[in-house]
Every structure is written in structure tokens, then in C-alpha cells.
Amino acid sequence: MFISVEGIEGCGKSTLVNGLGQYLQERSIDYVITKEPGSTSIGKILRSILLDKKQQISPLTELLLMFSDRLDHLDKVIKPSLDEGKIVITDRYIDSTYAYQGAGRGISKNIIDNLVSQTEIMLPDRTILLDISPEVGLKRASSRNELDRFESENIEFHKRLRKSFLDAAGANPDRFLTVDAEQEPYNILQSVINKLFPND
């Protein structure tokens, strides 16, 4: 099973991903937790460029750097792990590209759709969307560390991201599970586990 976890800044993805990992570990189920961008040695270099506030990066350059990271991630981490029968949980994947580079930076959906089909990247089996208002999410994110190139965008940018994620969830109800991310972390984890592993 290939699972992605998505949402705007400060929505609690890391907490959920860690909780899912612990749940799988306790049941001796093989899994891999990974993230985008930055899960391979090439990806780490791309990530440091992409998050660096000092870099001026055009929207299309940003899009292609994100895709380069994703293709390397698929080749070196995601596909080999799925081939070994592991559950793969990635913190961000393609829906972040539609949100950040599409809705955020203004690249047309058509361009991203074409890249997706030309590169034949695989879609996740399930995507968990942690939905939270940008006001609450950004407050959480800014209390944690210095804001990166994406986090320091204005509130309107983050509102567009949230709408893009919700629109994607609305258009793909079989793939998406949308959870109210203003709930307690324990409740979020339990409701995700109940949906992903209903027989447990």
C-alpha cells in the first residue's frame, strides 16, 4: 500500500506519520516512512535549494525541481520498498505539487497533468489530507522554527493551497481521506487508523 499525507504548513503531518509508523511497528508490519522533497542524496541537494529563502526560483524551475526530486524518490525509495512488500508512507507527494506550484505559484493544472502522464509517476492508493485553516497552521509552523521559502509566503497563498487540497479531495473521493486537523492528535491518528485498517 502506498499512502501519502498532505496538507498546508502546520497541519500536523509529521505527528500523524510518526503515529502511523508506531502503529505498524507494534503489529510487525513492514513499512517505510519517507518525505518530499529530500529523501535521496540528490533530493537533499534539491531540497536545500527549494527551501532556501535566498534563492530566486521561477515557478516552472520550481516545478521541475520538485519533479526531479519525485522521480529520484520513486526510483530509489518508493518503488523498491513497494516491491519488497512494504507499506510506504510519504509525507507529501503529487497533491502538494498541484497545491504549491499549481494553485500557489499559478502554473496551469494542464502542465502538471501532462508532466504526471509523461513521466508515468504512480498515484498513491490512499491520500490523507489533514485540513486546517491557514491562520492556525501558520501560527503552529512559525512557533517551531524559522520560516522557509514556502512558509514565508502570504496568507492568500496558503488559502489557495488549502482550497487546492480540498478540491483534489472532492474530485478523488476514493483516494482521499480528509480529516479535521484541529482535533487532538490522538483522535486524528485513531480516525485515520480506523479508515486505513478497518479490520484491526
From the CB of 36, what's the least distance to ligand TYD, in Å?
A: 4
Residue at shortest CB range from ligand TYD: 100
Which residues face 88 on adjacent strands? 2, 32
Q: Is 13 or 162 the residue whose CB approaches ligand TYD more closely?
A: 13
Q: Is 30 or 52 the residue whose CB approaches ligand TYD more closely?
A: 52
d(CA 190, CA 200): 12
From the CB of 26, what's the least distance to ligand TYD, in Å?
A: 25
Identify the DSSP state of 120.
T
Q: Is 152 or 190 the residue whose CB approaches ligand TYD more closely?
A: 152
Which residues face 2 on adjacent strands? 88
Q: What's the chain's length in residues?
A: 200
From the CB of 51, what's the least distance to ligand TYD, in Å?
A: 6
Burial class of residue 154 (count of CB atoms within 10 Å of its CB; 0-12, 13-18, 19+): exposed
From the CB of 8, what's the least distance to ligand TYD, in Å?
A: 8
Q: Is 14 or 25 the residue whose CB approaches ligand TYD more closely?
A: 14
Q: Is the CB of residue 79 less than 8 Å from the CB of residue 119?
A: no
The CA-to-CA distance between both ends of the chain, in Å, stands at 16
Q: Is 15 or 191 the residue whose CB approaches ligand TYD more closely?
A: 15
Give the footprint of ligand TYD on this chain (CB under 6 A): 9, 13, 35-37, 51, 66, 91-92, 96-97, 100-101, 150
From the CB of 27, what's the least distance to ligand TYD, in Å?
A: 26
- Residue 151 phi, psi (nearest 5): -60, -30
